Amino acid sequence: MYITGGLGAAAGTEGFGSAYELPNAEAYNETCAAVANMLWNYRLFLLTGHGKYLDVFERTLYNGFLSGVSLEGNTFFYPNPLAADGISKFNQGLATRSPWFNTSCCPTNIARFLPSLPGYVYAVRDDQVFINLFVAGTGTMKTGNQNVQITQQTNYPWEGKMTFTLQPEKPTSFALHLRLPGWARNEPTPGTLYAYADDVRQDVRQDATPAITLKVNGKEARYTLQDGFAVLQRTWQPGDQVELNLSMPVRQVTAHEKVAADRRKVALERGPLVYCVEGKDNGGSLKGIVLAKNTAFQTTFQPDLLQGIVTIRGRGGQAFTAIPYYAWSNRGADAMAVWLPEGR
C-alpha cells in the first residue's frame, strides 16, 4: 500500500508488483482500487471492531481516493501517481485530470461513494456506539431500545478539535468507542511499512505520542484504549458533551528500507493528510527541495487557495511550500512529488 492508501503498482496488469515494489511516478493506484480499499477495510472493521481498518479507510479517503476527482468535481484521475513531471501523459492521454474515460468506472465509483460517506461515520454493536470518522453533522443510531443522536462540531481535517453532543432519549448506559487515529498515536499505518522519522512527541499515559486530550462535560475523562478506540463507559445524559483534541504537528514519514523508490526520502503529513510539493508553489522546479530531520515548518490556513487548505512551508535546500496531495493538479498539469530527498 502506498502512503496515500493507494493500491496497485503495475499499470499493465492493474495489479500489485513484487514485494515492496512501490514506484512513484509509475504508480497506477487506480481510483477504483482506492474505493475498493475503503470498502474492504470497512467490512473488516465491522467484522472485528478494530480501529486499524478505519485508519486505512481514513488515509485512503483523504488522500488516494480524493485525489481522483478535481475540486470542481468534473474531472478525474484514473491512476493516482505520487510523482509527476507535468509532461508525461499518465492519465489515459493527459498529464492532468480528464472529464471522462472510455471505461468510466472511476468517475462513477466516485459518484456513488461520496454520497454514501455519512453511512460510515458511526456504527453500533449491542450497547456499544462507535464514532469512526470526524465529520461535522448530526447522526442518529439505536442502542438498546432507544435512539441516540450525536452532533459533531469540527473543522477536521484542518484542526484536531472535535466536540460531540449526545442526545439519548433518556439517561442510558452504553460504551462510547471514540477512534483515536493511528496518526495521533505515532503509527502512520498498521504494520511496519511506514514510520514517523521525526521526534514530535509528548508523554501521554505510558507511551510517548503526540498529545491527545479527552474530556466529558469539560473534565478530563478516564478511558480505556481498546483496538484503537478510547472507550468511555457511563450513563449518558441528554446534552452530555465529549471533547477530543488531537494535536496536528507536521510529521516526516519514512518507508521500509526495502521500498527502493523511497530510500533516503521522506514524506510530509499533517493529521490524516499526506502532502506534496507542486511546481506552481515552488518556482516551477522541485529539484532543490531537500528535507532535513530538523527542518522547521510553518502551517497556514489559506482560505482562497484551492478552495481553502492548510499549507506547509519550510526550508530544505530552498524555501518550499507543500499542499495536500488530494489538491494537486487543480491548476493545470504540473510537476509534483510526495517523497522528497532526505538531507542531514
Residue 247 pLDDT greater than 90, yes or no: yes
Provide the sign of the torsion angle of the four alpha carbons 163, 59, 231, 117, taken in this order.
positive
- What does the pLDDT look like over 184-203, one tens digit per residue? 999 999 999 999 997 554 33
- What does the pLDDT look like over 32-52, one tens digit per residue? 999 999 999 999 999 999 999
Please tell me the predicted confidence (pLDDT) of residue 316: 81
User: In 10 A of CB 43, how many CB atoms?
Assistant: 11
Residue 154 pLDDT greater than 50, yes or no: yes
Please tell me the predicted confidence (pLDDT) of residue 210: 57
Ordered DSSP codes for 100-148? --SS-HHHHHHHHHHHHGGGGSEEEETTEEEE-S--SEEEEEEETTEEE
What's the grid cell of residue 63? 488522500
What's the pTM value of the predicted model, to 2 decimals?
0.95
Contact at 8 Å (CB) between 110 and 76?
yes
Please tell me the predicted confidence (pLDDT) of residue 87: 98
Please tell me the predicted confidence (pLDDT) of residue 343: 85
What's the grid cell of residue 45? 472493521
Which residues, 6+ apart, have CB-to-CB distance to 115 below 8 Å? none
Contact at 8 Å (CB) between 232 and 221?
yes
